[in-house]
Chain A
Amino acid sequence: MIEFNGVQYATDQYEYLADFDAWNPELAAHIASLENIELTPAHWEVVNFVRNFYQEYDTSPAMRVLVKAVAKSLGEDKGNSRYLYTLFPKGPAKQATRIAGLPKPAKCI
């Protein structure tokens, strides 16, 4: 459960938003603050990217997929783990998907 602006948002057991459509940008900024991240345009680029990715493939990208997919769409300079870790130090796949309101990525894929 995440409480923000007087609204209670249902989450899964790992505190990932339960409903993809309940997400909004203000809530994203709030979840980011729970992760100790202040969202810059560079963060937003990745957050929006994973939201589109989820809509297209119905899957929350784990690290290997995220790197490859970002490289393909946003270029090699962004599709590498060093760049993504500077934005999301505790794990780009884990943190970006949580901020974007996606389910937790599966361990396997």
Chain B
Amino acid sequence: MVNVVIMQHAGPDDYASGHAAIAAAQALVDSGAKVLQVFFYGPGVLYSSHYLQFPSGVKNLQQQWLEFATTQHTPLVVCSTVANQYGIEPNVPPSGSLAAGFSSGGLTEFMEALSKADTLLQFQPGLQHSCQHSCRQETVAVRELLQRNSKTAKDITNDASSDAYDAALLFEFNHSPWQAISRHGLDMLLMAVSLDIPCQAIYNNAALSQLVVPTEQNGYDPLKKIAMLNNVFDFTEFYSPASDMVAAGNQQYRVPLQEASAEQIAQMQASAKHHIIF
């Protein structure tokens, strides 16, 4: 059986992403796959609000996740640290504002589920694609996964039975340090590295500025902790496409950044067990 983890990173008012995620989850279980966990991260934590409402005429995606969770015995895990930032107190009312059926957790639970999963499906707001594009992409991903399921379910099951944290995670960052998504991604990378999970991190385009040594006039540095990766955990797997590094000019980076060719990046993408995009 193929085991899948779904990460919902887009908020509940991002209907396209929300519909795509539910549809993918349903298609997977219909084909005999198991959804081990749905993890709500970033603005996606708002799915767990007791006070969430959908306008009439729009499908209640929260209700759909709750029904899915009940029938499939799939935990709906919400990152409690991010949820706090979105005003969700991780208890059901009256003491909190968490909707019954969601469980307050964090990156540790997510990493644990990921270690048992064959595939991660990630649903983001727009990200670098237009919405239509990303929805189509997810559909393709599900279709490929289903095909893989029918062909090699046995091999995949064998793979999954190996050690807990042997998953190699490839993180890809696309945004400037000023966007919350960059911090969410960094927190996840830090968690993975602190759990000794072999990781690689690719910084594309605007994300390269996350690694540039900040100057005094930049003032607040939202990603100061990025230096922990190398200084505390000896993590050195920072990569950037050669073309982006040339475009960025002569910069001083705060981590040991390596230049990677398009072929090398394609190879990393193909060989990583899970590919996570922020």
Q: Chain A, 92-109, contact with B by CB distance < 8 Å: what is the 0/1 string?
A: 000000000000001111
B80 engages A72 (CB within 8 Å): no
CB-CB under 8 A from A58, the residues of chain B are 221, 224-225
Please tell me which stretch of B23-31, B119-127, B139-147, B187-195 contacts chain A, meaning at least 4 of its Cβ atoms lie within 8 angstroms of it. B187-195
Within B169-226, which residues are at the interface with A (CB < 8 Å)? 187, 190-191, 194-195, 221, 224-225
Cβ–Cβ contact A57 & B224, under 8 A = yes
Q: Tell me whether A48 is interfacial, beta carbon within 8 Å.
A: no
* Pairwise interchain contact A108-B107, C-beta atoms closer than 8 A: yes
Query: Does A59 sit at the interface, judged by CB under 8 A?
Result: yes
Interface with A: B13-21, B150-158, B227-235, B263-271, which one? Answer: B227-235
A109 and B187 contact, Cβ closer than 8 Å, known pairs A59-B228, A68-B232: yes
Count of chain B residues with Cβ under 8 Å from any Cβ of A?
Answer: 19
B228 touches A57 (CB 8 A): yes
Q: Which of A64-84 contact B (CB under 8 A)?
A: 64-65, 68-69, 72
B74 within 8 A of A: no
Instruction: Establish whether residues B224 and A108, one from each chain, have CB atoms under 8 Å apart when the complex forms.
Output: no
The answer on a CB contact under 8 Å between A57 and B227 is: yes
Given the known interface contacts A68-B233, A72-B232, the answer about A56 and B194 at a Cβ–Cβ threshold of 8 Å is: no
- Verify B80–A108 contact, CB threshold 8 A: yes
Contact residues in B for A64 (Cβ distance below 8 Å): 194-195
Most buried by B among A56, A57, A72, A109: A109
Complex interface: chain A residues within 8 A of B81 (CB): 106-109
* Bound Cα distance from A65 to B227, whole angstroms: 13
Q: Secondary structure at chain B's binding surface: helix, strand, loop or mixed?
A: helix
Cross-chain contact B232 with A59 (CB below 8 angstroms): no
Give min CB distance, B82 to chain A, whole Å. Answer: 8
CB closest chain-A residue, reference B234: A72
Interface residues of B in 80-110 (CB under 8 A from A): 80-81, 106-108
B5 within 8 A of A: no
A69 touching B187, Cβ below 8 Å: no
Whole-angstrom distance from the CB of B61 to the nearest CB of chain A?
24
B114 at interface, CB cutoff 8 A? no
Complexed CA–CA distance, A72 and B227 (Å): 14
Partner of A59 from B225, B231, B233 at Cβ < 8 Å: B225
Min CB gap B196→A, angstroms: 10
Q: Is B35 an interface position by the 8 A CB rule? A: no
B233 surroundings in chain A (CB, below 8 A): 68
Q: Which residues of B contact A (CB under 8 A)?
A: 79-81, 106-108, 187, 190-191, 194-195, 221, 224-225, 227-228, 231-233
Q: Which residues of A contact B (CB under 8 A)?
A: 56-59, 64-65, 68-69, 72, 106-109
Q: List 26 A-B contacts (CB under 8 A).
A: A57-B224, A57-B225, A57-B228, A58-B221, A58-B224, A58-B225, A59-B225, A64-B194, A64-B195, A65-B194, A65-B228, A68-B232, A68-B233, A69-B228, A72-B231, A72-B232, A107-B80, A107-B81, A107-B106, A108-B79, A108-B106, A108-B107, A108-B187, A109-B81, A109-B107, A109-B194
Q: Which 3 A-B pairs have the closest CB atoms?
A: A58-B224, A108-B106, A59-B225
